[in-house]
């Protein structure tokens, strides 16, 4: 609720009403919020923990796409916007606490609380912008430069995300990431 009151024009009462419509869900480490092929019919807010969004490539290998940290909204955006089954997975890296709202409940709330619609649109735009900025930053330069970017902009990521996921995100092997880390960039 702190996030809503602090970052949106919602009143304390509006934020309380919105949260009352959410389902509180706990995920253990390695539990899934969403799997590829599932319908995207919910949006989440990560209150505690870390989530990992990834896909499985044509060789059967996990490819990390995004890390989701506390106080962030999340879902499979492609499935959400285009009403398609999910093309990726969202899994807990460590025990996590989520607030979940179905898309149908979200639509009903937007009708009942007209102030909510522009706020939801702003959250969607901000989420998309953050993802685009991160994607651009992570596709320029060498793996060492990308790792340095992560250290400078997301130090909590380096401390909390297992090396295998970081390596996958950087599109390198764990051994290569270990060599980069030993050089103390």
Dihedral sign for Cα atoms in the order 68, 73, 79, 82: negative
Cα separation of 16 and 91, whole Å? 27
Residue 100's pLDDT is what? Answer: 94
- pLDDT tens digits, residue range 106-152? 888 888 878 777 877 777 787 778 778 877 877 788 889 888 888 88
Pairwise CA distance, residues 158 & 152, whole Å: 10
* Contacts with 96 (C-beta within 8 Å, 6 or more apart), sequence order: 26, 27, 46, 48, 49, 50, 51
- Is the pLDDT score of 24 beyond 70? yes
Distance CA 151, CA 135 (A): 15
Most confident of 6-20, 90-104, 128-142, 151-165: 90-104
Q: Residue 92 — very low, low, confident or very high, per pLDDT cuts 50/70/90?
A: very high
Q: What is the mean pLDDT of residues 75-92?
A: 88
Let me know: does 99 contact 24? Beta carbons within 8 Å.
yes
* 9-18, 41-50, 61-70: segment of lowest average pLDDT: 9-18
């Amino acid at each position: 609720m702190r996030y809503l009151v602090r970052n949106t024009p919602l009143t304390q009462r509006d934020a309380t009403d919105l949260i009352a419509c959410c389902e509180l869900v706990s995920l253990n480490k390695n539990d899934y919020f969403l799997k590829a092929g599932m319908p995207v019919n919910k949006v989440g807010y990560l209150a505690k923990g870390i989530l990992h969004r990834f896909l499985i490539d044509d060789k059967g290998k996990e490819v990390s796409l995004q890390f989701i940290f506390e106080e962030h909204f999340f879902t499979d955006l492609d499935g959400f916007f285009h009403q398609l089954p999910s093309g990726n997975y969202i899994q807990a890296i460590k025990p996590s606490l989520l607030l979940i709202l179905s898309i149908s409940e979200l639509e009903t709330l937007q009708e009942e609380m007209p102030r909510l619609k522009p706020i939801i649109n702003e959250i969607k735009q901000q989420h998309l912008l953050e993802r685009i900025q991160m994607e651009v930053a992570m596709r320029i330069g060498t793996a060492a430069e990308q790792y340095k970017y992560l250290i400078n902009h997301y130090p909590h990521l380096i401390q909390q995300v297992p090396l295998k996921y970081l390596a996958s995100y950087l599109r390198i092997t764990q051994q290569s990431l270990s060599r980069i880390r030993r050089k103390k960039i």
